[in-house]
Amino acid sequence: MNKETGCVTVIVLLIIAVFAFFGFFNKYVFGNKQIIDLKQNFNVAYIQMTDGTSKKIYLKKWNDYENSDSIQLIGVDGTVYYTHLNRVILSSEK
């Protein structure tokens, strides 16, 4: 192995390590904030229910989908809500 091949190998391994490192921190350290997608860290959602009432949910995590108007909300109690973005207000409350 020559010097150039060794440098390329080290660079590729460093890139893989950086992606793995940020994936770990994204999942276990930053909670529901996704650094790469630049999503905000919301801890409360207000959902408009089908009967017209609103419900306040304390969020464990949430996910919106690329090329879709849907959002999945997971409450701290484990309840999962899947709805349209027009029916949800996300908020960061203290």
When pLDDT is averaged across residues 16-44 and rounded to a whole number, the result is 65
Per cent of the chain over pLDDT 70 is 77
When pLDDT is averaged across residues 23-42 and rounded to a whole number, the result is 58
The CA distance from 74 to 55, in Å, is: 13
Cα-Cα-Cα-Cα dihedral sign, residues 9, 14, 15, 17 = positive
Environment class of 52 (CB within 10 Å of its CB; exposed 0-12, middle 13-18, buried 19+):
exposed
pTM of structure: 0.57
Parallel, antiparallel or unpaired: strands 70-75 and 44-48: unpaired
The CA distance from 62 to 89, in Å, is: 12
* Confidence check: pLDDT of 7 > 60: yes
